[in-house]
Amino acid sequence: MSSVDQQLDELRTEITSELPSDISVSEVKYEGPELVVYTRDPKEFAQQGDLIRQLASKLRKRITVRPDPDVLSEPRKAREQILSVVPEDAGVSDLDFHKDTGEVVIEAEKPGMVIGRHGSTLREITKEVGWTPEVVRTPPIESSTVSNVRNFLKQERDERRDVLERVGRQIHREEMSDEEYVRITTLGCCREVGRAAFILSTPETRILIDCGDKPGAEGEVPYLQVPEALGAGASNLDAVVLTHAHLDHSALLPLLFKYGYDGPIYTTEPTRDLMGLLQLDYLDVAAKEGRTPPYDSEMVREAIKHTIPLEYGDVTDIAPDVKLTLHNAGHILGSAVCHFHIGDGLYNVAFSGDIHYDDTRLFNGAVNDFPRVETLVLESTYGGRNDYQTDQDDAERNLKKVIKETYEKDGKVLIPAFAVGRSQEMMLVLEEAMRSGDIPEMPVHLDGMIWEATAIHTTYPEYLRDDLRDRIFHDDENPFLADQFNHIDGGEEERQEVADGEPCIILSTSGMVTGGPIMSWLRHLGSDPDSTLTFVGYQAQGTLGRRIQSGWDEIPIDDDDTGRQSTLSLNMDVETVDGFSGHADRQGLENFVKTMNPRPEKVLCVHGDESSTQDLSSALYHDYNMRTFAPKNLETFRFV
Amino acid sequence: MSSVDQQLDELRTEITSELPSDISVSEVKYEGPELVVYTRDPKEFAQQGDLIRQLASKLRKRITVRPDPDVLSEPRKAREQILSVVPEDAGVSDLDFHKDTGEVVIEAEKPGMVIGRHGSTLREITKEVGWTPEVVRTPPIESSTVSNVRNFLKQERDERRDVLERVGRQIHREEMSDEEYVRITTLGCCREVGRAAFILSTPETRILIDCGDKPGAEGEVPYLQVPEALGAGASNLDAVVLTHAHLDHSALLPLLFKYGYDGPIYTTEPTRDLMGLLQLDYLDVAAKEGRTPPYDSEMVREAIKHTIPLEYGDVTDIAPDVKLTLHNAGHILGSAVCHFHIGDGLYNVAFSGDIHYDDTRLFNGAVNDFPRVETLVLESTYGGRNDYQTDQDDAERNLKKVIKETYEKDGKVLIPAFAVGRSQEMMLVLEEAMRSGDIPEMPVHLDGMIWEATAIHTTYPEYLRDDLRDRIFHDDENPFLADQFNHIDGGEEERQEVADGEPCIILSTSGMVTGGPIMSWLRHLGSDPDSTLTFVGYQAQGTLGRRIQSGWDEIPIDDDDTGRQSTLSLNMDVETVDGFSGHADRQGLENFVKTMNPRPEKVLCVHGDESSTQDLSSALYHDYNMRTFAPKNLETFRFV
């Protein structure tokens, strides 16, 4: 008998002895980090409100109870019963019964009403019907990404359960080594921005954190080929953890599956969906530019299939000697500071991923409060000595001024924006400005992936800033659903109409004017001296956006019909409004460390160019007397 | 056609065009780092004295010329011719003809006379007989190690040629990567003494430097199991380089072959032989102590078979992007500072191995003069702030005083000593002291492996200190052959005779009184208050030697006949004479760096306990403003 089977056997005995005699245990197994308990008496289980929590705390495991398939009621009957228990206002849109696991997935417009206070309605459902309910939100804006991911996971449910079971046994394997060490190997994003990738390793366990590309530097991918990365085979990785969905952190994750990786990706649920959206777009763009991407969409699906979503704050066993907890990072939807607790009190490491320290309109500021943390791996995008940004109030004032002036000229405001994050922040600023009368009411057109990305945001309001969440949940006021917002889904014809019409605001991808519908908008509006092209995000070296910012007014542009290149004379006003970054600035980074609880002993400054990482590293050393480093790629640091 | 074959083809064409028309080239191949040129006209080749050197410098390769087997003369006839060319005084003791390669190995008491001035006699031999001569020394003291190694290599000649050919093709393969980096990974001997092991890696090449055990800490072996070491398979190593034969650097090399390594070990010839001696003894001791050693003697033979001996100063290609040069390290016979030149002028790293900076009686001080060196990996055994040692003159004076006093009491001086290094240093001190009359003439008995280790020293006088070498070569005065020295080869009976006899000096292993014949000497002499037990080397924590030093006089000892333990009351005088270490002391280490040419930019202080490495690291930083480190095991540093 393997050690895991023996462990499960002992757990079954222990659980049986803890339970009242009228509740039977028919099977106990691991699925990913969870311990799943099958019972012939699910209703009785549910009646004892606190039983699962007691078991979980006694066994120090995450526990899910499921009915033995033999005792399940008819789905048709169960459906009726569920609909009678759940309040009509919950807006249940779909019920999906899975006989093999006794689970029923309930999709509802208001999942909170299906869950009930502290889960009371859920328990009520189990008491009535025996099935184990799982709740997902019906996106208030239809999202093809969310529905594709959900349909795919439904269809792959069997295979996914096999993956989860295998991962579960792997997590709970016996520890083999009597050595002790904790190490971080840098595979990318050191003294540079882009291609984030780290290995966290102990004698038992090897975890890859992020696996991104480097925008604007084709071919500069993380150093996956070295022995300490995939050199010994992708199957030597125990787990992958993804901090957030941006491509410089996620683009090459699917490649791992091409290389034979078959383990879990831990991240938040919105990151999973956004990652799928962005990776597929990454393949799309590569194809359009005539490049051969390193993997195909099948591998994106593999990545999604292997994702185990975690919620902020959940402490999760991901290896025999590693517990992972994700915390809000304030950067984009679902972005996480990833905290690793290693060994039994041996060591703690937090990877910041990308963070925003102060609250923004969209998100609460990054969490920097942990039970323990000895080493922090900190992004340094704006770590340079002069990297102070305009504050949010000033930024908004400047933006509103540009809009008002353009409106008064009867012109249009064209804003190149990244689909994920900055666009939604803009939407909130604009919605509020119009509601409060700071700027006149006018249509806000959303072009490119922005609408889809916004739909994903509305699917996961739990991940938004608390007062925004409250507005959505309690006041039923979802600013993303405001009337001003219009999805450009009618192609060139609709764009022509907008261009010929009244004053308005247009948010369009790509954010650095390197392609996408923004090119079309430039064709329509570029020659209009009354309109304003307004930059609200970072324009990288070498992009058309940067060139326009620095004064180019003769723009090479593909002619729409023929595909030939012609030159466009740019007569629009060009404005730049700083202060809307998703990254903490130098002050924010320092504040993150200064107020961090507890203050770490060591900080690795990464994800910034050479001078930013070194400036930040030396500032933190001088101000707080910590050991700080600005690592190079391909180094290994040992902490224990 | 593979790229190597193509390369060889081109080389053949180039060589043919460089040679006079009467010299044909029948084949060109790589054997290890050498380019071997087969010719049907070996005599004509030899007549053009400088031809090989010209070719070597033109092609920038090490070149060996061999006769095509078809044109070889009869060995019987060749033997006569060779003996007529070589002066009788050379003392030729063996001629060994290898038809497949056209080589004849000439063993002689005075190899210099077979070689002749600048190789003139060797060329004369080829001119006469066509065969390519190779010369080895007949050990002036018979050494079973040397003769075993030579016989083994003779017997394995075919297989060894296959190894060399494969290694040769590997070295000269085409470079694949367009990345650039140089990294060092620490696998052992960081913040500790013992288990030396490093990986030097580039995108092309991975080289293991040393692979030792940790004396007194069973089970603490180098971290070979991590991915960056053997995790991706032993066959991912390109080469192994051994700094010197001591077990804390060499003990686990044979294990690599058990793990599937099939590549070369580069080291000096004496290190190869001493390594064989010490590894077999390592297996022997393990067996005697009832431990299962991690490999068997077959693997020691594999290690010897895969060794490619290099001479000090020879610049050798060991990978497409790495050239290795060994330099005298002054520590023990054959010990080397290993200098790596990486890429075409990209970077240079020197590994000190263990060094002695000042001249000793046995060896010249360590070489610290290089064409270029950016990073030095430096031993720190005596790097602590107070690790200053008695100087050699004082040490010798103290030793002589102890000997004289004991002699005057009619007692015997018993010196526990390491077989390799310290024993031979003692022999030189004693021989000189008796010759000059500083101490009375008396027998010096050598017990344990000392005699054999001394025999190996006499086989390689080229590796000894220059004035000692001159004495041996030119004045024919070999101090190791002095009459006073007696090999204890008659077992207990002889020991009893010595113990019952006149005043004398006894050098016996083990050096830390942890077993071996020294235990027997303690039984014979331990109760004699007129005799003196004299420590001349470091006694590690936990050894019996250290306990006796600190005052123990009741010694648990195995009874010789029954194997039972009894207690011996130690009545001998116990003395310690400092100053005979094979390691540079703190001053020596600082001087090594201070006078190093050029001064390196970075120094990694290793092979010393935590405080020694940190003391030395911070001293070098403060004194010379270099970047210095005291690495932990399992870290990776990147330099380019």
pLDDT single digits (tens) A12-47: 999 999 999 999 999 999 999 999 999 999 988 888
> What pLDDT is recorded for position A352?
98
Mutation target among A185, A198, A228, A237 for the B interface, most CBs of B within 10 A: A228
> What pLDDT is recorded for position B563?
66
The mean per-residue pLDDT over the stretch B30-41 comes to 94
> What pLDDT is recorded for position A496?
96
Q: Is A636 exposed, middle or buried (0-12, 13-18, 19+ CB in 10 A)?
A: buried
A338 pLDDT higher than 80: yes
- Rg (C-alpha) for chain A, rounded Å, is 26
Select from B12, B15, B60 the least CA-distant residue to B34: B60
Select from B443, B431, B458 the least CA-distant residue to B142: B458
The mean per-residue pLDDT over the stretch B526-545 comes to 91
Reported as a single tens digit per residue, the pLDDT across B122-179 is 999 998 899 999 999 999 999 999 999 999 999 999 999 999 999 999 999 998 888 8
Three-state SS at B298: helix
A410 pLDDT higher than 90: yes
The mean per-residue pLDDT over the stretch B451-480 comes to 92
Among chain B, residues having any CB pair with chain A shorter than 8 Å are 181, 183, 185, 201, 206, 226-229, 231-233, 236, 632-638
Which chain A residues are within 8 Å of B185, Cβ to Cβ? 636
Reported as a single tens digit per residue, the pLDDT across A502-538 is 999 999 999 999 888 999 999 999 999 999 999 998 8
- The percentage of residues in chain A with a pLDDT greater than 90, rounded to a whole number, is 82
3-state secondary structure B539-578: CCCCCHHHHHHCCCCEEEEECCCCCCEEEEECCCEEEECC
Contacting residues for B345 by C-beta, under 8 A, at least 6 apart: none
> What pLDDT is recorded for position B185?
98
Asked if the Cβ–Cβ distance from A635 to B633 is below 8 Å, we say no
Asked if the Cβ–Cβ distance from B635 to A638 is below 8 Å, we say yes
Shortest alpha-carbon distance between residue B34 and chain A (Å): 30
> What pLDDT is recorded for position B288?
84
The mean per-residue pLDDT over the stretch A324-329 comes to 98
pLDDT band at B564 (very low <50, low <70, confident <90, very high): confident
The mean per-residue pLDDT over the stretch B512-532 comes to 94
Between CA B250 and CA B244 the distance in angstroms is 7
> What pLDDT is recorded for position B562?
66
C-alpha separations of A15 from A10, A20, A23, A30, A170 in Å: 9, 10, 10, 14, 21
pLDDT band at B560 (very low <50, low <70, confident <90, very high): low
Query: Count of CB contacts below 8 A, A vs B?
Result: 54
Q: Name the closest residue on chain B to residue A233, using Cα atoms.
A: B232
Between CA B198 and CA A561 the distance in angstroms is 62
Q: Name the closest residue on chain B to residue A236, using Cα atoms.
A: B227
Mutation target among B633, B634, B637 for the A interface, most CBs of A within 10 A: B634
Residue A532: count other Cβ atoms within 10 Å of its Cβ.
Answer: 23
Which chain B residues are within 8 Å of A231, Cβ to Cβ? 227-228, 231-232, 236
When CB atoms are compared, the residue of A231, A236, A636 closest to B634 is A636
Shortest alpha-carbon distance between residue A597 and chain B (Å): 28
Global ipTM: 0.86
When CB atoms are compared, the residue of B229, B632, B638 closest to A634 is B638
> What pLDDT is recorded for position A290?
86
Shortest alpha-carbon distance between residue B231 and chain A (Å): 6
> What pLDDT is recorded for position A561?
60
Q: Name the closest residue on chain A to residue B204, using Cα atoms.
A: A226
When CB atoms are compared, the residue of B231, B236, B636 closest to A636 is B636
Mutation target among A638, A639, A640 for the B interface, most CBs of B within 10 A: A638
Please report where in the chains the tokens 């390691």 appear, as a residue.
B583
3-state secondary structure A269-299: HHHHHHHHHHHHHHHHHHHHCCCCCCCCHHH
A217 pLDDT higher than 80: no
A252 pLDDT higher than 80: yes
Q: Is A16 exposed, middle or buried (0-12, 13-18, 19+ CB in 10 A)?
A: middle
Between CA A16 and CA A24 the distance in angstroms is 7
Q: Record the tokens describing residue A602, joined without a space.
A: 């060591």
B336 pLDDT higher than 80: yes
A351 pLDDT higher than 80: yes
Mutation target among B179, B192, B225, B226 for the A interface, most CBs of A within 10 A: B226
pLDDT band at A558 (very low <50, low <70, confident <90, very high): confident
**What mean pLDDT, rounded, does chain A reach?**
93
Q: Name the closest residue on chain B to residue A234, using Cα atoms.
A: B232
Please report where in the chains the tokens 């907890």 appear, as a residue.
A325
Asked if the Cβ–Cβ distance from B228 to A233 is below 8 Å, we say no
A494 pLDDT higher than 90: yes
Asked if the Cβ–Cβ distance from B636 to A634 is below 8 Å, we say yes
Which chain A residues are within 8 Å of B181, Cβ to Cβ? 634
When CB atoms are compared, the residue of A227, A634, A636 closest to B231 is A227
Q: Are residues A283 and A297 in contact, defined by beta-carbon separation less than 8 angstroms?
A: yes
The mean per-residue pLDDT over the stretch B35-46 comes to 92
pLDDT band at A292 (very low <50, low <70, confident <90, very high): confident
Q: Record the tokens describing residue B212, joined without a space.
A: 């030792």
> What pLDDT is recorded for position A563?
66
**What mean pLDDT, rounded, does chain B reach?**
93
Q: Record the tokens describing residue B560, joined without a space.
A: 């010789």
pLDDT-wise least confident of A223-232, A622-631, B241-250, B351-360: A223-232
Shortest alpha-carbon distance between residue B461 and chain A (Å): 42
Q: Are residues B171 and B32 in contact, defined by beta-carbon separation less than 8 angstroms?
A: yes
- The percentage of residues in chain B with a pLDDT greater than 90, rounded to a whole number, is 82
Select from B457, B472, B463 the least CA-distant residue to B423: B457
Among chain A, residues having any CB pair with chain B shorter than 8 Å are 181, 183, 185, 201, 206, 226-229, 231-233, 236, 632-638
Q: Name the closest residue on chain A to residue B633, using Cα atoms.
A: A638
Please report where in the chains the tokens 């008396």 appear, as a residue.
B442
Q: What is residue A202's DSSP assignment?
A: -
Which chain B residues are within 8 Å of A201, Cβ to Cβ? 226
Reported as a single tens digit per residue, the pLDDT across A38-96 is 999 998 888 887 888 899 999 988 999 999 988 899 999 999 999 999 999 999 999 99
Reported as a single tens digit per residue, the pLDDT across B626-640 is 999 999 999 999 999
> What pLDDT is recorded for position B217?
75
Shortest alpha-carbon distance between residue B180 and chain A (Å): 11
The mean per-residue pLDDT over the stretch B439-465 comes to 96
The mean per-residue pLDDT over the stretch B302-320 comes to 97
pLDDT band at B565 (very low <50, low <70, confident <90, very high): confident
Strand partners, B265: B240, B307
When CB atoms are compared, the residue of B201, B231, B637 closest to A635 is B637
> Which segment, B283-297, B361-375, B508-522, is predicted with the most confidence on average?
B361-375
Q: Name the closest residue on chain B to residue A636, using Cα atoms.
A: B636
Which chain A residues are within 8 Å of B206, Cβ to Cβ? 227
Q: Record the tokens describing residue A577, joined without a space.
A: 């409004």
Select from B239, B182, B198 the least CA-distant residue to B607: B198
Query: How far is the first Cα of chain B from the last one, in angstroms, to the nearest whole number?
Result: 34
The mean per-residue pLDDT over the stretch B563-571 comes to 86
A330 pLDDT higher than 70: yes
Reported as a single tens digit per residue, the pLDDT across B166-216 is 999 999 999 888 889 999 999 999 999 899 999 999 999 999 999 999 876
Strand partners, B603: B376, B628
A552 pLDDT higher than 80: yes
What pTM, to 2 d.p., does this model score? 0.91
Which chain A residues are within 8 Å of B229, Cβ to Cβ? 227
Between CA A373 and CA A601 the distance in angstroms is 8
Three-state SS at B507: strand
Q: Name the closest residue on chain B to residue A186, using Cα atoms.
A: B636
Between CA B380 and CA B608 the distance in angstroms is 5
C-alpha separations of A285 from A196, A368, B7, B153 in Å: 20, 36, 42, 62
Between CA B194 and CA B97 the distance in angstroms is 43
Asked if the Cβ–Cβ distance from A636 to B236 is below 8 Å, we say no
Reported as a single tens digit per residue, the pLDDT across A369-407 is 999 999 999 999 999 999 999 989 999 999 999 999 999
Between CA A316 and CA A314 the distance in angstroms is 6
Angle at B308 between CA B302 and CA B310, to 5 degrees: 145
CA atoms within 13 A on the CB side of B366: 33
> What pLDDT is recorded for position A413?
98
